[in-house]
Structure 1
Amino acid sequence: MKGSMIVVGFFILGLVAGRMDALPAWMAESGLSFVALCGLLLCVGMSIGLNPDMKSDFKSLNPRLALLPIATILGSWVGAMVAFAIMLGGDGDIIQPRGLTDCLAIDSGFAYYSLSSIFITEYRGAELGTIALLTNIIREMITLLMTPLMAKWFGPLAPISSGGATTMDTTLPIITQTIGQRYVALSIFHGFATDFSVPFLVTMWCMLGA
């Protein structure tokens, strides 16, 4: 939990610095965040490569765990439907002028906020794209903050599902630190599968709602 709070603390610090124009122009215009992410992935990759049991871990995966990305997708859609139902007024009128397909499109980002928001902005407008960006950032931050509690309350697969497409990169360190190295292979597979599905599922729901 301490590590998650440090991560969130740096995120908030970055927000404040950006809002106050306290960052040098070269830092704002360069791909520094991409370089930092690449550095993080390099460290994660090194830790995985140094694990002598990685090959056996892949072979020892239960074939049923390959269905985890499907469970994540379907569970996320159920959550979107629940959110849509909550937004409905007592007389059946929706509080906000958004349809069920909009909610499903946003939820199909699976924390891949950059790509999903671009697609949604293109198909459904900048307002919904901004909502998608914030929603998927919040999902990633919840995973970073709540992984220890989710693993304790709901089991080791819960934080993997919560992380969505980020379980192969940004949330992988906190997930493996919490539930162990034996879930690294599953986390990477889960992240890759959900990541690959984002463009297709987001586009599908956007087009259905058009």
Structure 2
Amino acid sequence: MKGSLIIIGFFVLGIIVGLGKVIPEGFLSEQISTYVLYALMFLVGVTIGYDKELLRSLRKTNWRILFVPLATIVGTLGGVALVSMLLPQWTMAESMAVGSGFGYYSLSSIFITQYKGAALGTIALMSNIMREIIALLATPLLLRWFGRLAPISVAGATSMDTTLPIITQYSGRDYVLIAISHGIIVDLTVPFLVTFFCSV
């Protein structure tokens, strides 16, 4: 929760700096977001590749574990497609691009800003932060109403990092591997799905 509030704080600070024209106009070129994106992709790869124990555990895991991230992806995109019918100002593809962030706000919002502009990129950022906050705050209720896999699915890409402690606390330590593998798989789909829906 603290991490999400820090992110929201920096976002609000950025808006204030932009409105106050603290940074000279033209100082921040459009290429900066591209370089930040490359750096993020590199760091994601390093994080996954560096954790040898995690990769070893994933190799030993039953293949049926793949149904959890698959259900998350299909459920999220299906829900977004239905909600998009109530949002006439955005196309279904644009709404699906936002939904394809799966809680990975830093990466998806940069992609969407680059392809579709700052307005939709900001919506993507807020949508993904809200997904993480809901996972952090509503895990006890999700567990009671829908079972132990529900918090993992709601957490999306964050199930392997920021929401993992609360998932472990409520779903149990035996669900840690499922949460981590779910996060990695969903995480890896973000750049492909977001760019696909942005280019449709």
* TM-score bin, normalised by smaller chain: 0.7 to 0.9
Displacement after TM superposition at 1:86 (Å): 2.5
Distance 1:119 1:137 in 2: 16
| Unpaired segments ≥5 residues, structure 2 | 18-46
Equivalent in 5, 8, 16 of residue 11 of structure 1: 5
Question: Is residue 2:73 matched to residue 1:81?
Answer: no
Displacement after TM superposition at 1:64 (Å): 2.0
Per-residue Cα deviation, 1:5-63 (whole angstroms, up to 9, x for no partner): xx48x8279739x7599xxxxxxxxxxxxxxxxxxx9xxx9xx99xxxxx99985x553
Per-residue Cα deviation, 1:86-135 (whole angstroms, up to 9, x for no partner): 23xxxxxx2x2x10000000000000000000000111111110110000
Equivalent pair of 1:57/1:182 in contact (CA under 8 Å): no
Amino acid at match of 2:145: W
Q: Counterpart of 1:187?
A: 179
Question: Is residue 2:150 matched to residue 1:158?
Answer: yes
Listed as ranges, the matches of 1:33-182 within 5 Å are 59=60, 62-87=62-87, 94=88, 96=89, 98-182=90-174
TM-score relative to the length of structure 1: 0.69
Equivalent in 190, 196, 199 of residue 188 of structure 2: 196
Distance 1:63 1:196 in 2: 17
Distance 2:99 2:84 in 1: 11
Distance 2:187 2:158 in 1: 8
Per-residue Cα deviation, 1:158-186 (whole angstroms, up to 9, x for no partner): 11010110011000001111110000000
Displacement after TM superposition at 1:83 (Å): 1.1
Per-residue Cα deviation, 1:144-165 (whole angstroms, up to 9, x for no partner): 0001110110001111010110
Change (3 A) 1:203 1:182: same
TM-score relative to the length of structure 2: 0.72
State percent identity of aligned pairs.
49
Equivalent pair of 1:167/1:190 in contact (CA under 8 Å): yes
Distance 1:149 1:57 in 2: 29
How large is the Cα RMSD of the aligned pairs? 2.9
Q: Which has the larger radius of gyration?
A: 1
Amino acid at match of 1:83: V
| Unpaired segments ≥5 residues, structure 1 | 22-40, 50-54, 88-93
